[in-house]
Amino acid sequence: MEAEDAEVRCSDQNYSSPLFVFVFVKMKTVFITGGTGYIGTRLIRSLLNNEHRVIALVRKGSENKVPVGCEVVIGDPFDAMTFQQHVPGDAVFVQLLGVAHPSPSKAEQFRQIDLRSVKASADAAAIAGVSHFIYVSVSMVPTKIMEAYQRVRKEGEEYCLIQNLNCTFIRPWYVLGPGHWWPVILFPFYAVAEVVPSWRKKARSRGLVTINQVISTLIKVVEADPVPLRIVEIKDIRQTSLE
């Protein structure tokens, strides 16, 4: 299967490189947390369509919520000991589990769910020796509104790096899609911000991306060769889409 040229570009202070520098896409084994959620179910279907092996970590009772064709591991996403033995050593680990519909009122939930789960996942991934750890984080441009959420996600990123994993951090702000359309009312503000220089940078740092763009980005990152650190920002996510 031939790989298309990548349009996504990734960046951070110490690393900058195209996502793809190869000709053939090798079938990957992908281990996913949050596979029954908004992004997870769509990602699993796309990975299966691309002929990858997919394994989803689910809690007991949720086995039937994952797409057909996906393997299931029953465990506690907050306790690495319950699932680390089921993570293949050559796997790409995708961390999606987190609080649904984040808001400023959910600060404690961010710590109890988002942070605990990413730490357990990073521990399990490190013990298994996975090839690549992908974490859907959040834009890190400072904002008072979602400061608690950003702080927890930043702690999660730092914890993953401490485990010496090959990490990719994908940093959207808000992902538009079914059941997640309310920010469209902000489109006029974004349009005005583009023509006001003092507003433009801040507005772009909180830009909206679509669910298709996020899924396409995730597929490309999964299929890319791992590097020690890759950061995919909003501008990079917007360059991708599923045909």
Q: Which amino acid is at 102?
A: P
191 pairs with which residues across the strands? none
Residue whose token pair is 């994993």: 165
Pairing label, strands 53-58, 71-74: parallel
Sequence-distant (6+) residues with CB within 8 A of 183 are 174, 176, 208
Which DSSP letter does residue 141 get? S
Residue 103, pLDDT score: 86
d(CA 185, CA 168): 31
Q: What is the pLDDT of residues 138-179, one digit of tens each?
A: 988 888 888 999 999 999 999 999 999 999 999 998 888 787
Given a cut of 90, is residue 75 above it in pLDDT?
A: yes
Domain residue limits, the chain: 9-178+208-236
Give the percent of the chain with pLDDT over 90. Answer: 66
Q: For residue 10, what pLDDT band results from cuts at 50, 70 and 90?
A: low
The CATH code belonging to domain 9-178+208-236 is 3.40.50.720
Q: For residue 199, what pLDDT band results from cuts at 50, 70 and 90?
A: low
